[in-house]
Amino acid sequence: MKPIEYADSSPAVRAVYDDLRAVRKTDWINNFWKVIANEPATLKRTWESIKEVMAPGALDPLTKQMIYIAVSATNSCGYCIASHIAAARAAGMTDEMFGELMAVVGMANETNRLASGYEAEIDPEFKSA
Amino acid sequence: MKPIEYADSSPAVRAVYDDLRAVRKTDWINNFWKVIANEPATLKRTWESIKEVMAPGALDPLTKQMIYIAVSATNSCGYCIASHIAAARAAGMTDEMFGELMAVVGMANETNRLASGYEAEIDPEFKSA
Amino acid sequence: MKPIEYADSSPAVRAVYDDLRAVRKTDWINNFWKVIANEPATLKRTWESIKEVMAPGALDPLTKQMIYIAVSATNSCGYCIASHIAAARAAGMTDEMFGELMAVVGMANETNRLASGYEAEIDPEFKSA
Amino acid sequence: MKPIEYADSSPAVRAVYDDLRAVRKTDWINNFWKVIANEPATLKRTWESIKEVMAPGALDPLTKQMIYIAVSATNSCGYCIASHIAAARAAGMTDEMFGELMAVVGMANETNRLASGYEAEIDPEFKSA
Amino acid sequence: MKPIEYADSSPAVRAVYDDLRAVRKTDWINNFWKVIANEPATLKRTWESIKEVMAPGALDPLTKQMIYIAVSATNSCGYCIASHIAAARAAGMTDEMFGELMAVVGMANETNRLASGYEAEIDPEFKSA
Amino acid sequence: MKPIEYADSSPAVRAVYDDLRAVRKTDWINNFWKVIANEPATLKRTWESIKEVMAPGALDPLTKQMIYIAVSATNSCGYCIASHIAAARAAGMTDEMFGELMAVVGMANETNRLASGYEAEIDPEFKSA
């Protein structure tokens, strides 16, 4: 699907683009949004969900971006890794934080498979947790 | 593989168990360690790696536990989800924090597939990031 | 592994290529088949399985191609996404159908992780389903 | 997280439960919704998204349920497989349709890895698709 | 889907069951085959493929069973882990071999994500490999 | 993260590079190590773990490299597939062995999903295995 540029966007798409620009305080729109704009309902729903989910709350925006990277690296989504590393850096992620993040992601992916392969049964203590 | 209890452990396994108890400040050892203890080299290497990776650093222990949950939920590892939710709660994770964590994990898993399925190309801006 | 072209193919590989061309009504053979042709047994077995599985039955070919895209996007298989989008379009998939397909794929990947992370127990009603 | 029953629900949760009951034409609420109700914002957002995405459109509800099963089986999400098989059957899925669906899901998961492992390059013909 | 017992099987299913019993030199049939027998075409195709793929060749049967475990642990498929550990043990897998197998599976899952997260570019040397 | 060349490496990184060169009997260092060298603790821990896990033991180095490929193909990690195919070839993997390896990986990924989708229950016989 070809990316839909701002200049070529329908009113429904443009309304989302405008809100995205306002919330992010930049005119630049990355390719992810431009390709899903081919389905305006998906564009609108996804943007509204992301806006709600990534807003500051009990967790701060940087922590949320690092969680996003953790999931994207686990799924080997090249686009998502690149875009969320950029977003995390903009939110203050240092090289050291990225290094520790990836160290945890790596170990978690390792021990997930050790737990599965060794068929570890869930301790009763965790069930009442 | 049967879990290896402390009372039945070899000196090599017991040395790891003792360190694990000391670092965690509890005598209790959960099943994950008891099953991988069937391979003492894996037990020792995994524990030393986890001890190093999960220690406080540029990221605090609670953030690291939440990243662990994010990976484990993405991989649908039941044991790991249960054990790291318990560890995160012990480190201070509230219901609200867990709720926001899972909301980000859910959205990341969704948009990872939208990016792949729509074949979004990585913006040049992200490559110089 | 280098792709094996029709002109360079052994009799065993050529027999599969010929059947593939006849069934698909085109001389063109895409790279997937040319690379797995390095193992003629895999080529033959995979082609016969695909021919059987993708044939019209209780489900029509377009529905089957969309299921193929759903799996490939979930696995982030770039080659498979590209080739099955082409096949689905040839079978009649419109932009709207693709948009709805990806919307379902995205939501399913999201709720799969919510179900895992929240440790939802399977309702007894589903077991008798 | 404990499931939140209708009788114990807050007004925000109850409003979603009421809409869910009305749209689905049944008083029964399955566990997935009851556990994510611990985070009312996630409950509301997920339900509104599912309601929009699963509604009849260019694809009919049965096709959408089968796509959901394809993703859930690929991710090995036990809860999701069970609940969406039930939903697909309610929407008219026969044993034969399920059998063909799983046959496609199985082959797609196989060829996804053959394409990756053999490092198949995307044919230029697919890029212009 | 309910497992189909030998006594209740149709001629098409029974023919596969008989071959499976003869090849495996046991009357016992495990649940996997009994549930997919609900779709006789899937049963026959899957059995013929497994029989061909798992036969001794350039790789011995034990190595093939260990590869099967590696994939199944990576996918967290509980059924497959349990059944292929049993098959590997029957083919001669010792506790030490299993321990080393899982150690490699764990490390591979870890470094796969480090490679993705750090966006390692493929060395030109590997492309000419 | 930019790769760190040997000439630009800190003493901590250089110590790992030197050991890696000595163990592998080559001066060449592939990109994976150069990018994770941005986090020296990750570089050191990962290299020591790999050195221990991939050493000859109850399983020979070639078998271990093939298990690595099996996991990497299942996870669609392009970098890891390319680098471990090279390593396996250096350890003696023939085209036939690679072909059989991928055939098993493909079938395992297929039957993993059939087992999940058909909700096969683990046979009691496997539990006592």
pLDDT given for residue D128 in this prediction:
59
Kindly report, residue by residue over E11-41, the tens digit of the pLDDT: 999 999 999 999 999 999 999 999 999 999 9
Share above pLDDT 90 across residues of chain D, in percent, rounded to a whole number:
97
pLDDT given for residue F1 in this prediction:
83
Task: Tell me which chain E residues have a C-beta less than 8 angstroms from the C-beta of B77.
Answer: 76
Rounded to the nearest integer, the mean pLDDT of chain B is: 96
Q: How confident is the model at residue C127 (pLDDT cuts 50, 70, 90)?
A: confident
The predicted model gives C2-30 an average pLDDT of 97
CB nearest to C112's CB, from D75, D111, D114: D75
Residue F125 pLDDT exceeds 50: yes
Residue of E nearest to C75 (CA): E75
Q: Which residues contact A38 (CB under 8 A, 6 or more apart)?
A: A1, A2, A4, B118, C95, C99
Q: Which two tokens stand for residue E29?
A: 């049939």
The answer to whether the CB atoms of F39 and A103 lie below 8 A apart is: yes
Q: Which two tokens stand for residue D33?
A: 């919704």
The answer to whether the CB atoms of D73 and F116 lie below 8 A apart is: yes
For chain D, which residues score pLDDT lower than 70?
Answer: 128-129
> What SS3 string covers chain C?
CCCCCHHHCCHHHHHHHHHHHHHHCCCCCCHHHHHHCCCHHHHHHHHHHHHHHHCCCCCCHHHHHHHHHHHHHHCCCHHHHHHHHHHHHHCCCCHHHHHHHHHHHHHHHHHHHHHHHCCCCCCHHHHCC
The predicted model gives B83-90 an average pLDDT of 96
pLDDT given for residue D127 in this prediction:
80
pLDDT given for residue E129 in this prediction:
47
Testing the interface with C: which of E1, E47, E52, E112 to mutate, by most C Cβ within 10 A? E52
Residue of A nearest to F39 (CA): A99
Distance from C-alpha of B114 to C-alpha of C73, rounded to nearest angstrom: 8
Neighbours of chain B (3+ CB pairs under 8 A): A, C, D, E, F
List the single range of A101-110, B119-128, D76-85, E26-35 with lowest mean pLDDT: B119-128
Task: Tell me which chain F residues have a C-beta less than 8 angstroms from the C-beta of D68.
Answer: none
The predicted model gives F109-128 an average pLDDT of 94
Nearest CA to CA, how far is F26 from chain C (Å)?
25
The predicted model gives B62-79 an average pLDDT of 97
Share above pLDDT 70 across residues of chain A, in percent, rounded to a whole number:
98
Which residue type, as a one-letter code, is found at position F113? R
Task: Tell me which chain C residues have a C-beta less than 8 angstroms from the C-beta of D100.
Answer: 53, 57-59, 64
Task: Tell me which chain F residues have a C-beta less than 8 angstroms from the C-beta of A100.
Answer: 39
The predicted model gives A52-56 an average pLDDT of 98
- For F28-44, letters b (16+ CB in 10 Å) and e give ebbbbbbbbbbbbbbbb
pLDDT given for residue E17 in this prediction:
98
pLDDT given for residue B128 in this prediction:
59
- From E83, E109, F57, E67, select the one nearest B40 (Cα to Cα): F57
The predicted model gives A106-122 an average pLDDT of 97
pLDDT given for residue D120 in this prediction:
96
Helices and strands per DSSP (H, E), number in chain E? 7, 0
Residue B20 pLDDT exceeds 60: yes
Q: Which two tokens stand for residue D87?
A: 């939903």
> What SS3 string covers F46-75?
HHHHHHHHHCCCCCCHHHHHHHHHHHHHHC
Residue B99 pLDDT exceeds 50: yes
Kindly report, residue by residue over F68-103, the tens digit of the pLDDT: 999 999 999 999 999 999 999 999 999 999 999 999
Task: Tell me which chain B residues have a C-beta less than 8 angstroms from the C-beta of E95.
Answer: 1, 38-39
Q: How confident is the model at residue F128 (pLDDT cuts 50, 70, 90)?
A: low
Q: Which residues contact C113 (CB under 8 A, 6 or more apart)?
A: B73, B74, B76, B102, B105, B106, B109
Q: Which residues of C touch E (CB under 8 A)?
A: 41, 45, 49, 52-53
Q: Which residues contact C4 (CB under 8 A, 6 or more apart)?
A: C13, C34, C35, C37, C38
Q: How confident is the model at residue B129 (pLDDT cuts 50, 70, 90)?
A: very low
The answer to whether the CB atoms of A39 and C106 lie below 8 A apart is: no
Token pair 């500051």 is at which residue? A56
Residue E128 pLDDT exceeds 90: no
Residue F129 pLDDT exceeds 60: no
The predicted model gives A85-92 an average pLDDT of 96
For the question of whether the overall pTM of this predicted structure is more than 0.90, the answer is: yes
E-to-F residue pairs, Cβ atoms closer than 8 angstroms: 200
